Amino acid sequence: MLPDVARAWEHLQRTAQELFARYGYEPIYTPLFEHTEVFTRGIGEATDIVSKEMYTFEDKGGRSITLRPEGTASVVRSALEHSLTANGAQAKLYYAGPMFRYERPQKGRMRQFWQIGIEFLGAPEPTADAEVITVLVRFFEALGLPRESMRLLLNTMGDEHCRPVYRDEIAAFIRAHADGLCEECQRRAETNPLRAFDCKNPGCREIMAEAPILRDRLCDDCAAHYAAVKSHLDALGINYIEDPSLVRGLDYYTRTVFEIQVDAGLGSQNAIGGGGRYDRLMQEYGGPATPGLGFALGFERTLLALEAAGIEIPALPRADVYVARVDDTVTDAAFALAQALRDAGIATELDHQGRSLKSQFKQADRLGARFVAVVGPDELAAGAFTLRNMGTKEETRVALSDAPAAVTAALG
Ligand code: AMP
């Protein structure tokens, strides 16, 4: 990431930190790699991620290691390891960093990509679902993406009571319609039938549109939870589209799943963020039953969406003040002045190339400096320098001893 992109990444992270803090989320950093088992157990052997996309290798100690393909498995693993949710405690955590998946690269899909995500552990209530979804919506809004350009899709995956029955029903449906379905979908009948809803093949989509939907097969508890999530979202004025074909690709999801899609700028990789509830994940790791949910959003796709919407990442000024030297005799004083301004928190630049005064002014312009502090031998002898406002061209004489206060006041 060169500075232009890295600056955007930092802007996204700052926006996330500020927003997430308002909802009580704290940062967590997990390793870039884990024992492979953390992902195979949590995400599921039959998922695309585990079966095709992981960067897995053996380390020198003969252990199977995998570069993390997503953040949730590691966060839940470490919450269990460090008892963050012991005795019914809740943990609200967020992370940001690179993830690795061996996918076919295309626009908006790369093998190392960056995600920001939150995880809310120990929260069974449907209000938690509505809150997490709202944070995701608000994040994109905070970046300036218009709400109308985003589509929030919502679905429920049921739980261990209603999903297995439905899974079998879909497997039977796939077998009954095998003729019209692609080979991959036919295979899915045996491995991960619900993923057939996710197939991009138009023929498969047409057939799967006729399949029974889980929403009609939910157990009472899941139906009540789903209804409550929707009503909490309605109360907050968060619009969503119910999409029974939204089956997110990880095994650990239970009940609520959601995704935000944006059309402009993204082509087929139009999901900028998504997540869901994973009430059984901690048990998969041998821990106590601990409900949880979260989302992850992709940095690269968010950036594409922002670009397409014409939203510029605010540029940090490279320098508020440029200290210009009239000649070499004032170098030490100019350097000391720049340092005093920097120590006072003012972004300050000065020349390190022995440029002429004229080209120092040009450089100040290029950097977007609002003021140039001109240090010359005569004024310096009187303990002062000239502060030039680059907008109004107004010049004032400032005592060196007053510099930080005077410049701070001038910057307003
Ligand atoms: P997932 O973990 O698959 O639910 O993805 C969450 C978000 O991460 C997606 O909405 C994308 O924004 C982003 N993402 C997932 N996979 C990739 C990838 N290969 N390249 C770029 N972004 C990705």
Per-residue pLDDT at 291: 97
What single letter denotes the amino acid at residue 61?
A: G
Chain centroid offset of residue 270 CA: 15
Q: What is the percent of the chain with per-residue pLDDT over 70, rounded to a whole number? A: 100
Model confidence pLDDT, tens digit, residues 75-127: 999 999 999 999 999 999 999 999 999 999 998 999 999 999 999 999 999 99
| Reported CATH class of domain 321-411 | alpha beta
Per-domain boundaries in the chain:
3-162+218-308, 321-411
What's the pTM?
Answer: 0.90
User: For residue 68, is pLDDT > 80?
Assistant: yes
Neighbours of 208 (CB within 10 A): 23
Per-residue pLDDT at 127: 98
Which residue of 43, 99, 136, 268 sits with most ligand 1 atoms within 8 Å of its CB, as the best mutation to test the pocket? 99
Section 20-41 average pLDDT? 96
Model confidence pLDDT, tens digit, residues 200-255: 889 999 999 999 999 899 999 999 999 999 999 999 999 999 998 898 777 788 99
User: For residue 199, is pLDDT > 90?
Assistant: no
Per-residue pLDDT at 269: 84
Same topology, domains 3-162+218-308 and 321-411? Answer is: no
Strands of the sheet with 321-325, listed across from one edge: 348-350, 321-325, 371-375, 384-389, 395-399
Q: Where residue 198 falls among pLDDT bands split at 50, 70, 90?
A: confident
SS3 content of the chain, % helix, strand, coil (to 5): 45, 20, 35
* Contact indicator for 96, 114 with CB cutoff of 8 Å: yes
Which residue of 67, 111, 152, 301 sits with most ligand 1 atoms within 8 Å of its CB, as the best mutation to test the pocket? 301
53 alpha carbon – ligand 1 mean position (Å) = 12
Q: What would the DSSP string read from start to end of 372-396?
A: EEEE-HHHHHTTEEEEEETTT--EE
Residues with CB under 6 A from ligand 1: 70, 101, 103, 108-110, 113, 115, 248, 271-274, 296-298, 300-301
Atom of ligand 1 nearest to the CA of 110: 20
> How high is the mean pLDDT of the chain?
94
What single letter denotes the amino acid at residue 352?
A: H
Q: Pick the residue whose CA is nearest to atom 21 on ligand 1.
A: 109
| Reported CATH class of domain 3-162+218-308 | alpha beta
Model confidence pLDDT, tens digit, residues 117-151: 999 999 999 999 999 999 999 999 999 999 999 99
